[in-house]
Every structure is written in structure tokens, then in C-alpha cells.
Structure 1
Amino acid sequence: EHGDLQGGRRFLLAADDHSGKGEPTLYNYLQQRRAEKNLLEGTRLLYVGATRAVRRLLLTASLGTDPRTGALRPPPARSLLSPIWDTCQQQVVSHDPAQLPAPASLPAQRPLTRLRKLPVAMAPAPQAQSGGNVPDRAANLTERSVGTVVHLALEELSARAILPEQVSDSDRQRWRAQLVRLGLWGDGLAAATAEVEQSVLTTLAAGGAGRWLLGSGHRQAHSEWALTSVDPEGAIRELVIDRSFIDAATGLRWLIDYKNSRPAPGQSLEDFLAGQGAAYREQLLRYRRALRELGPEPLRCALYFTALGHLHHLPELDLASLAQPHADV
């Protein structure tokens, strides 16, 4: 049993009194309670809004009229105005709908007079510019992918206590998976995998420079060494040095950058090395600036060509000591 809005008492649940067809049901009761709840919530919102007025409250509504009497029709039962309609309907001031002014007639526009029709000027397509030995991204995908995987392979080998003489099947599978992730497939994938294997085998060749630079007997050895430096202009640079270590036998710190390139057909090794040294000189200088304050050891800079197994030392970039003043040459 509960109280309704009129203060009466009503049953919530009671024994079936065998009411006839069409009598209120539990479903109708719940629907009515939901409607009462919405009505009370609307009244609360109206009260909150109306009590915000400081000096004057003006409520507006759009109401229909009875076509026979012309009187205003009561607002819908679910509207915010309905709960207070009985109280305020005597204060309602009715206004006739505003009549929109008819659009002013515009004068007819005069046709556009063309003095002369010029031909369409077609600018010639710009000629392709050679970007200073910048290869096309799609054309050198295989070359870039091979270089990336060779770098990863040498980094992994440098972490081993003992360098292997040969590569294993698991090595080949890992390199192939890495090349697939870089976008290679089909015949290009097979050729790239073979090229990576050949570069690694060349590096691991007995008596070669590769086994020495990857060996575990060095001090302060780093592979793919990420550094942050500030250049002379004050710009912050993020660097990754392929290989750096202090040779335990000589005390020299080596700064080595890997390259997987090789001489063009008909190009001598001497000309190739000279061109590569000039091309990557500025890059090595940036690396050298980042390393020069790490210790007093003398510094040597070199390029290591993985496909050739050749370590190309650049003596013009040597530093007798990282601590001594010097100029970038």
C-alpha cells in the first residue's frame, strides 16, 4: 500500500480480485508511476529555473488555439508549463504570430560583359631534379632493408662471448623474418637474405677486421649506441653510433660506422673509399663531438664496409686526446 499524488491510499500488490477485462494491471500501474516521476522532475526543473530570476520572470510558450472559441488550449500534460497552468493561465498575454516581411524584389542582374577571352595558360610540368645522389625510396628498399638487418645482426654478434665461425639456421630465419617486416617478399626476399648472410660471413672471416671490432675483449664497448648531443649551433641531436670501444691492447677509442655499400662496376677500391670518406665526413664529425668529452683516450674514426670486410680508417679525423682542445677539420 502507498500514497498517490492526491493523498489517497493505493495498493502496490494485492490478491487478485478477479477484475474484469480492461481494469488496471501491474504494468499500467508501473507506467503511471513512471509518468508521475517524470512530471515531478519537470516541475523541479521549472522551479530551479524560475527561482533564478532577480527582479522579473518572463515565461514564454507556444500554444495552440481552439478554432471555435479562439481560446488558448492547455499545454501538453508532459510540458513544463502544465503543472502551473491552472495558476498562471489568467496572467497569460496572447500575441498574434509575427508576420515575416515579404522578400524585397531584387533587380535583374545585368549579364557579365566579356571584353576578351584569353586562352588558358598551361604551366609546363617541372623537370625532375636530381637531389644530389638521393635514391628513390621505392627503388632502394632492398638496399636499405639489407643494411638495417646487417646492423641488427652485427649488434647481436657483438653481444656474444665467443664469435661463431659460421651462421646458423636460426640466424637465417631471424634475418628473413626481419626482412619480411621491412616489406620484402618473393625473389627480392631470397636475394636480400643471401646478401645479409654474405655480409655477416665476410665480417666473421678469420683474420679479418670484423672479428676484431666485434670481439668481446674491448673496454667500454657499445653497439648501436644512442647518444644525445648539442652541436656548435646549440641544436640538440639524437645520434646512434654503430660501434665504439676502447682497444684493450692500444688504449685507443674507436668510433666505427657500418656501411653495406660496395664499389660500382669498374670503380677502383681507392676511388670508392675516397668518395665514401668524403660523403660521411660530416656524420663522423658529429659522432666525434659527442664522444670527445667521455674520456681522455685518443680517438680513431673509421668506416667498416660489411660487404667487403674492410675497415677504412680516416686519419684526418684522429684526435690525440679527447680532452685536448681541437678544431673540427
Structure 2
Amino acid sequence: MHWLNILRAPWCGLTLEDLHALCAHDHQATIWQLMHACEGLSEDGNMRLQHVAAILAQAFSHQGRMPLRRWIESTWLQLGGGNTLISAGDNRDVQAFFDLVEKLANGHALDFVQLESAMQKLYAEPDITGSEQLQFLTIHKSKGLEFDCVILPALNRKPRHPDSPLMLWEEVQADGKTQLLAAPYSKNKRSDAPNIYDYIKQLEATRANNETTRLLYVAATRTIRKLHLVATVKRKDNDEITPVKQSLLELLWPGVHQFFATAQARPLLNNGTSTLAEFTPQLMRLAKLSVPHLLQATQPIKTSVNPTHVKTAEQDMTQDALAADKGTLAHLYLELISNTGLAKWSAERIATCKPAMEQWIQQQGHHHAFSIIAAEDVIALLHTTMASKDGQWVLQERENATSELSIATIAELQVRKKVIDRTFVENNVRWIVDYKSEPMSAAASHDELLLRAEAYRAQLESYATLFTHEAYPIKKAVLFLTLGKLVTID
């Protein structure tokens, strides 16, 4: 089923007819095997299938050679997953999923039961483009607020009550003293006569019902002008209608039952004339399949290098581009180090990453000769940063720490993405740290570093505006990776 989902998804978008032609006649082979020996597909379906198969084949060849999150995410991007997103909120939701994969990954393996359980607690972020006039709140969150119009949906649902606990207790007054009345749960009662456990449980139920009444009062009194009460009630065989027991609607029933009594029932089906097409999900797919332009350069570039001419413009990118890519690579490794823990990254482990660094530099379009030097420079940056007191302090594990935090904002009707290198809360202060890998003299004074950091004030202040909703004061700083020194901008 997972394979069929991949082939039905927008980045492939096979029709049901093509999916049937692919796998209906051979129930022994895997879908991956059938993808390489398919017949009977439409011309469009065959083109789409071969495009996806080529990308997946390349992904399988890289399995185990890169972090799991990057392996899955890069495959998704090459398939065109990014082109299927509609809003900035979609991008944040996708990144939240990949962040979760990175957090749960055990090397190159992933516990799918653990992932599914964790995803149940993963909620979509608010839509930053949405109107502030509409807010979704729990009743508890709405306490103390007022709105022109309040809508209370699903009043017919029964509040969830906990199962019978193993032990119940109640403080009671006896002989002028407070005594503890306790009773264990008994699964096999010898008679139907009530016992102490039943008595205490009834007290708890009464308290719960009183709390439900209080919540309904809180919700109904949040409105200034209009209050909409929404609920559904099923008619019994004798045409009688009654609310669900212990629901909010039951509390309101004396005042609203006449509205339900006179309401016209809506049929669930359209006179029995529904067709299969009405239950078939609409196919949504990319009109044109191709590897995104920005990712096409990630394919390994094979070239021969003449050592006497490696610096010519025709044979290589500019030194500025190489410096930028070195900075990007350093950022990627600092993110990995901060996420996995400083203690796991010795100098020896960093050194073993050099071949991967060289390959990454080459994939950006640089010659092999330059990739060797660039990888050595990145390793030196990492060593200096991790050996410094400031670097260790910035990268240390914290509960609210995040690296390479991507936040989308709306400016002039356009979505703009800002990426914060490192942010965390320390002693009730929000820190925003920007990494800079530019060459700096080891003899540079604090004043010289402060002057250089001032050049990035506007950038850091734009990041700070993203956290103005928090109650924490904000500190902005630049971490110069070549020196391992943190400079704070007041």
C-alpha cells in the first residue's frame, strides 16, 4: 500500500487505470520489480513511472551513505515534493515531519511504530497568512477573552471520562477530624450492592458533571453579540430524539429541544443514487515531471582538471561562491553536531567526514582540487568552534534550542523565508546567534570584532522581530567560526 501511495501521490500521479495495469496481474512480484517490467500502461503513465523509478533507483544507491533525514528529504525534493506545497504553512508542516524523523532516527534505521506514535502528537502550526479575526480555541484557552461571535461545535459529543482507577480515596470529616476514606477497585463484585468504591466514584462523577457545566458557562459567556450552538441528534426508531448522556447538549436540552423537534432531518445518502466516482478521491498531480532546477546541480560532476588553469573562470566557479559553499557546509555540520550532542563529535570523527565533505563541495559544481582544500577549511572551522568556550556554550544541548530554524513570513504579499543559525532560551533570555565563517585575524581585538559584528545588526534585528510575541528579552550575537568567539550586539 505504501508503494501505491507513492505512485498515486502528486509527484507521480498515476491514474487508477495505470495502477491496475501495473500490479493487477502479478501478485508475487514487488511493486518495485513491476516498475521495471511494466506493460499496458498509458504513454503518460509510463513516462511518469520511469521518471519516479530513476529517482528512486538513485536514492537506493545512496542509502546508508548520508543521515536518514537528509536521504529522505533529498529524495522527496528530487521527486518534486516541494512543488506540491500550496502555502508557507505546508512547508512548515513538512519541515516539522523531517525534524521528527531526524530526532527519532537511530543511525540509518527508524522505528516506524515509534514514528507513528510521535506523529499523533505532531500538530500543524498556525497559518501565518490567516486572518486574525478567526481563532480556534479550546474552552480552557478562551477563559477571560471576549469575541463578537462564538461558535461552539459538536455539543452532542460526550466528554471523555477516565477509566476506573485501581484506587479511589476521599477526605471526609469524622469526629471533628479529617479522615481518609479509600477503596480499591474490585473487578469481580460478589453482589450488586454499592460499596465504598462506588460511593467515591459517584462523588467524582458529580464533580466531573459540575466541571462540564462550568465549562459550558465559560464558553457561552465569551460572546458579545452572537452565540452559535452546533450539534446533531439522531432520531430513534420511534421518532424520539434525545441528547447523548453527559454531553454539553444534554445540559442545554430543556431550552433547545424544540428546535430539534421541528428540524428537518438530512439524508446521509443522495436518494441512493451515489456512484463510485463520488467516493473516488480526485487525482491531484504535477502537470510536468522533472527534477527541480536547483537540485540538478547536485548530481556528481565528472571533469578533468588542468592544475595550471584551475582558477580560470571557464573551469570553475568564483572564489566567492566557494567561500559561500564552505560556510553552508559548516552550518550543516554545526546543525548536526548540536542536534546529536557535542560529546559524540571528537576530532577523529570529524576527520572521517572529510570524504563526504569533498563530495558535497564537488556536487556544488567545484573542481576536486578545490574540494580538498575546502573540506580541510571546514574541518578547521569545526575544530576551532568546538574547542572554544564560546562555541561549546552556543552548541550545548538545551531544552528550547533549535538550529537552522526556518520561519516563513509575509511581506508585501510575498512569502519570505528566514533561517536562524542557532536560537535558544538561557536564563529566561532568548538568544539569537548568527554564524559567520569569514576569515578573521587571530590577533583581532574585541573592538574590531564588535565593529565587524555591527555589519550584521540589521539581519539579526529582523530575526528578533520573529520572537516579539514571547515574554523573553532578546539578545543578538555573532559567532565567528574562524576564531570561536561570540560577540554580542546590544
TM-score (norm. length: structure 1): 0.48
Larger Rg: 1
TM-score (norm. length: structure 2): 0.33
Bigger relative contact order, structure 1 or 2 (CA pairs below 8 A, ≥6 apart): 2
Query: Greater share of helix residues, 1 or 2?
Result: 2
